[in-house]
Structure 1
Amino acid sequence: MIGKLKGVVDSFGEDYVLLDVHGVCYQVHCPSRVLQYLPRVGEAAVLAIETVVREDMIKLFGFQDESEREWFRLLTTVQGVGAKVALAILGVMKASEVANAIALGDKTALTRAPGVGKRVAERIASELKDKAPKFASVDQETISVSAAVQENVAATGVTDAVSALTNLGYQPAQASAAVAMAVKSAGEDATAETLIRLGLKELSA
């Protein structure tokens, strides 16, 4: 099983790179974002590899680091998400961004990837929500606020504040983070107006 490849970039294809490792060229399929940031032809590159073995083929998938590879593995455990869709998601989002989107239940962010519709995004968010927090870069308070709002168990002021900030054009993750910080200083029972004011102050800092 191949876990990592260190070699020289030989050439690029539409969705893959040929990596020359001591005279043997490996065809490695990568997310588009990874292909864009790989060195030029003739330069050295290192990729974390996921080897997929099936009856009719052996295919290599390459990633910038082990975290990205782990998210590829996690995404492909979701029903209806194959390697192509997982690569598409990681092609438009970093591993930490995927984790944040799932942890915060931000399904809209997931639908930015080609081939990911609302139903698939909901399935991903639902099936991986318990695994996402440990990979996410957002703090636990933000995740808790976002989850409470989505599950309709948050205080009215919290729900209204997140909704108001979202309506003002802020991303759900930004709104939840700002309100989470506001709750820390004003308390969960604070009015929506107070949380909105403190949240806007946090966002403009």
Structure 2
Amino acid sequence: MIGKLKGVLDSTGDDWVVVDVGGVGYHVTCSRRTLSALPAPGGAVTLSIETKVSDEAIRLIGFESDVERDWFRLLLGVQGVGTRVALGVLGTLAPADLARAIALDDKKAVSSAPGVGPKVAARIVAELKDKAPEGASLGAVLDMPVNGTAASGVSGSMRDAVSALVNLGYPQAQASGAIAAAAKTLEEAATAEQLIRQGLKELAR
């Protein structure tokens, strides 16, 4: 099973590329966002690969990073989400944006992807709430603007607050979402203790 391709970009289409690896051309389906990040034909390229095997064919799905591939796998586990819809979501939302949308229960952001209606968006948010790839949700929270200001000034408190909730037994994705919601309602200089208290209130809802 192929997990990664590293070679030269041979050609591109609306939703695919051909990667030349040692003289062998691999046809790879990609999301719109991944395609936009690739160099012009002739440039060096590395893609994380998900191999889909069916009775008809072996299909390669390419991603800009392993994290994006991990999100693709998680999305496929949601009822009503197939390859096309999963690629549509990842073509619209970067991994950090998807993590943030799920953490903040932002169904509208998820439904902005082509082929994703309100019901599917709600299922994605609900079913992936506690299943974000390790580190993805926390990173999205720490990068999140707080009251219109970049979060770098409070990232230490937010990190400590998330860690405290994880130590209490909450999954990281759920803890991150609670602290993200808490940070939106508290002052910019909120302490870790204040964030924890507000985060627990969010979790109790």
**Normalization by structure 2: what TM-score?**
0.72
Shift of residue 177 of structure 1?
3.4
SS of alignment partner, residue 177 of structure 2: helix
1:99/1:179 CA distance change after superposition, 3 Å: same
Structure-2 separation of matches of 1:187 and 1:103: 19
2:190 corresponds in structure 1 to 184
* Structure-2 residue corresponding to 1:163: none
Task: Sort the Cα spacing of 1:115 and 1:58 in 2 relative to 1 into closer, same or farther, 3 A.
Answer: same
CA displacement at 1:144 relative to structure 2: 1.2
Deviations 1:2-61 (A, max 9, x none): 000001111101100011111111111111011011010111100000001111111000
1:135 corresponds to: 136
| Aligned counterparts of 2:117 and 2:130: Cα–Cα separation in 1 | 21
Aligned-partner Cα distance in 2 for 1:45–1:29:
14
Structure 1 letter corresponding to 2:81: V
Q: Give the superposition deviation at 1:187.
A: 5.5
1:96, CA displacement in angstroms? 1.3
Consecutive unaligned residues of structure 1, counting only runs of 5 or more, are: 148-175, 189-205
Q: Does residue 22 in structure 1 map to residue 28 in structure 2?
A: no
The list of structure 1 runs, each at least 4 consecutive aligned residues, that deviate by more than 3 angstroms after superposition, is 139-142, 180-188
Q: Secondary structure at the match of 1:81?
A: coil
Contact 1:142–1:177 under 8 Å retained in 2: no
Question: Superposed, which structure 2 residues align to 1:53-92 within 5 Å?
Answer: 53-92=53-92
Q: 1:54-203 alignment to 2 at 5 Å?
A: 54-132=54-132, 134-136=135-137, 137-139=140-142, 140=162, 143-144=177-178, 177-181=183-187, 184=190
The CA distance in 2 between the partners of 1:124 and 1:108, in whole Å, is 11
**C-alpha separation in 1, matches of 2:187 and 2:70:** 30
How far apart are 1:142 and its partner, in Å?
6.3
Larger Rg computed on CA atoms = 1
Contact map agreement 1:9 1:20 (CA 8 A) in 2: yes
Normalised by the length of structure 1, the TM-score is: 0.72
Kept after mapping to 2: 8 A contact 1:105/1:146: no
Question: How many corresponding residue pairs?
Answer: 160
Please, what is the CA RMSD of the aligned residues?
Answer: 2.2
Contact 1:104 1:143 in 2 (8 A): yes
Preserved contact between residue 141 and residue 180 of structure 2 (Cα < 8 Å): no
Superposition deviation, residue 145 in structure 1? 5.6
